[in-house]
Amino acid sequence: MSSITDVAGIEVGHFTDPRRPTGCTVVITREGAVGGVDVRGAAPGTRETDLLSPTNLVEQVHAVVLSGGSAWGLDAASGAMRWLDEHGIGLQVAKGRVPIVPAAVLFDLYMGDPSIRPDANAGYAACAAASKQPPQEGCVGAGTGAIVGKIFGMDRAMKGGIGSASVTAHGITVGALIACNALGDVIDPATGQVVAGARADDGKSLLNTQQAMVRGDPHKRIIPGSNTTIGVVATDAVLTKPQASRLATVGHDGLARAINPAHTMFDGDTLFALATGKAGKPLDMLTLSAMAAEAVAQAVLRAVRAATSLDFDGLKLPAARDFAARQ
């Protein structure tokens, strides 16, 4: 199974809260990685994104945290910093070190007690669970409470999740890890078919949100910031900081291929990029861009295909596998 951990120097860990559907995920680069970011959605929840600007000083990132819990989930990054510091990982400054840990969150407060959300202890636990093994996919970590296809109401939505994929060419690997909590549908780019998203009135078939909106079907009132797809694109190629920023940007092409609509006013879509340089060589950005978009699109698909149905707090959400079983 291909995953972001196929990229040398990358480890992934999840924390899943058993009390309600929420959690967080951490991507660790123990030796540091050149970082970039592109915040494309209009309702983001992020931390430490400004320092990733190509014009700013710090280049090395030591971890990225993806979390549920809306803005509350940003606290998970503090726990990741504590774990990294305890393990001697971080930017050396004077007599101590400062781990550089950017983060992004998604909204998953629809179900259960909203005071239960990922905190610093959750981020610490995700780090403690990190490994080089392919990460678990579906309803775990930051994807635990993810939901897709909410434009026509929660009662017609489906379960989202977290997924990962990688692509290798010319001795270079590009991997992606995506937590998909999109407002829109998830599409298989190879067929153009909806895999998960808004369901028809009877709840037994997929609607196709794009077609429904174009013909004028009225959507439900949408809570601002209540969606968002977040993730990390990583490569073992040698990249400069501006190139890492570009890799994050082109990764959004993969979101646009696999999610429709994407980057809405109600999504906070954010992608981070990490370049570990472990391959010891660069690769032209045109090829890297194609690889990044493909890895992101495949990770989105795997996020919903690995998800399982949810029946919690009065809300029943089927998963893509439930519809596939009927075909």
Quick check: 20 and 116 in contact, CB under 8 A?
yes
Quick check: 255 and 271 in contact, CB under 8 A?
yes
Distance of alpha carbon 85 from alpha carbon 288, whole angstroms: 32
Quick check: 123 and 15 in contact, CB under 8 A?
yes
Q: What is the pLDDT of residue 224?
A: 62
For 262-307, write each residue's pLDDT tens digit. Answer: 888 888 899 999 999 999 999 999 999 999 999 999 999 999 999 9
Per CATH, the number for 4-326 is 3.60.70.12
For 231-265, write each residue's pLDDT tens digit. Answer: 999 999 999 999 999 999 999 999 999 999 888 88
Residue 174 in tokens: 């590009």
For 19-31, write each residue's pLDDT tens digit. Answer: 999 999 999 999 9
Strand pairing of 259-260 and 185-188? antiparallel
Q: What is the residue extent of each domain of the chain? A: 4-326
Q: How confident is the model at residue 53 (pLDDT cuts 50, 70, 90)?
A: very high
Distance of alpha carbon 201 from alpha carbon 307, whole angstroms: 22
Quick check: 34 and 7 in contact, CB under 8 A?
no
Distance of alpha carbon 267 from alpha carbon 248, whole angstroms: 17
Q: What is the pLDDT of residue 300?
A: 98
| Tokens 């939505």, located at residue | 157
For 157-185, write each residue's pLDDT tens digit. Answer: 999 999 999 999 999 999 999 999 999 99
- Grouping H, G, I as helix, E, B as strand and the rest as coil, residue 194 is strand
Distance of CA 20 to the CA centre of its chain: 19
